Structure 1
Amino acid sequence: MATTKTASKSTTKTEVKIGISDSTRELNFECESTQSEVIAKVNEAIKSSGVLALSDTKGREVLVPASKISYVEVGESSDRRVGFANQ
């Protein structure tokens, strides 16, 4: 029986990690925004001393006070692989 791979979604997801000051944990989530959009929102929040607001892929809102942001890591999300086979 032959199998075919289905085409992956054409939407690019961005992985975001936000370090919070005075906290040992980081926020880690995926969003539909591009890397440049996320960076622009981070810069604007820090510049205005406001709140960074991002939406994740599950529709939840992530809000972080700009004064508590230690670092932000932004990168393209990769597909999760399951199993041990080499491809």
Structure 2
Amino acid sequence: MGLFWALEPEKPFWRFLKRDVQTPFVVELEVLDGHESKAQRLLGRAVHERDFLAPGMRREPVRAGRVRATLFLPPGGPGVLGPGDRVL
């Protein structure tokens, strides 16, 4: 994650915030020959997708008094954990 942690925003003082975790975070990566901003030879290109939710996960809003949260439920409903599932 160091590569993504070190990214700088195009607009000053903006921070990365994923507002919709139900869609993947997509980053287009390019490797160029040289360090200048002028036209450079493209050496390679790739697209990286990072999912925030496993397939089948449900997102349920929680509101109780002043508490506002989101509950993420695994496929099969609450209390059913499969291999690799974590409870935080």
Pick the structure with greater CA Rg. 2
Higher helix share: 1
Q: Which has the higher contact order (CA 8 A, sep 6+)?
A: 1
Common fold, TM-score beyond 0.5?
no
Q: TM-score, normalised by structure 2?
A: 0.28
